[in-house]
Amino acid sequence: MDVLLLIASGLWVMVPALVANPGAVIFGGGTPVDFNRKWKGERVLGDGKTWRGLIGGICFGVLIGCLQIAGETNYAYLLPGFIGFGPMPTALGAVFTLAIGSLLGDMCGAFIKRRFGMERGQKAPVLDQYDSIAGALLLTFLVFPDWTLRTFVLGDAWVSLLAVLVVTPLLHRSVNIIGYKVGLKKEPW
């Protein structure tokens, strides 16, 4: 397959995972996921992980993913060779695991940060950028191994994964700067 198609396809299928985080920022607030509980003197997750953010972010990622699947079904003929989410029902399942895994990964990142005594919002390079895509890919691989291998590993598909790994930190940074400027985020990272 064409390299540009592989890059586009990889980024396209990661969209539900990528938009889940800004979704959490938009809808977040209220009761923290850890209910203020502490573990060994530090918060389990901290105030940056809330139920509203978790549920809202997942719903937002799933909604966008459903629109993408509808788009694929109707406009696939415009890009011959583009695979994207592929056939239902796995396509829909993958949208769910990508969005859910993304925010689970984000919470694992927060859990790790708290264990190192880092405050909410404190910068953690690598972890901040990759926790959610790692969670999204891992959960999706566990539930839909064939889909994940076909989309990101086998044959030429590793190019799609590489594109995701290269573009995600750049996207993460730009979106956070925008979120900071419009007052949705407390820090520009």
CA distance 151 to 19: 19
**Strand boundaries in 14-86, DSSP class E:** 38-39, 42-43
Residue 24 in contact with ligand CTP, rule: CB under 6 A: yes
Cβ-based neighbours of 113, under 8 Å, separated by 6 or more: 46, 122, 124, 127
Residue 5 in contact with ligand CTP, rule: CB under 6 A: no
Is the separation of the CB atoms in 20 and 132 below 8 Å? yes
Residue of 16, 53, 105, 135 that binds ligand CTP (CB under 6 A): 53
Give the x/- contact pattern for ligand CTP in 168-187, rule: CB under 6 A: -----------------x--
Residue 50 in contact with ligand CTP, rule: CB under 6 A: yes
Least Cβ distance, residue 3 to ligand CTP (angstroms): 32
Question: Considering beta carbons, is residue 71 or 121 the nearer one to ligand CTP?
Answer: 121
Least Cβ distance, residue 119 to ligand CTP (angstroms): 7
Least Cβ distance, residue 62 to ligand CTP (angstroms): 15
Least Cβ distance, residue 29 to ligand CTP (angstroms): 6
Question: Considering beta carbons, is residue 133 or 159 the nearer one to ligand CTP?
Answer: 133
For 32, phi and psi rounded to 5 degrees?
A: -70, 150
Tokens standing for residue 82 = 């583009």
Q: Pick from 133, 105, 115, 99: which is nearest to 46 by CA?
A: 115
Is the separation of the CB atoms in 104 and 172 below 8 Å? no
Residue of 71, 93, 121, 169 that binds ligand CTP (CB under 6 A): 121
Residues 127-166 binding ligand CTP (CB under 6 A) are none
Residue of 10, 46, 65, 84 that binds ligand CTP (CB under 6 A): 46
Q: For residue 37, how many C-alpha atoms fall within 13 Å in the half-sphere facing its CB?
A: 6
CA distance 99 to 106: 11
Residue 89: is the preceding peptide bond cis (ω within 30°)? Answer: yes
Contacting positions for ligand CTP (CB under 6 A): 24-25, 28-29, 46, 48-50, 53-54, 103, 106, 110, 113, 120-122, 185
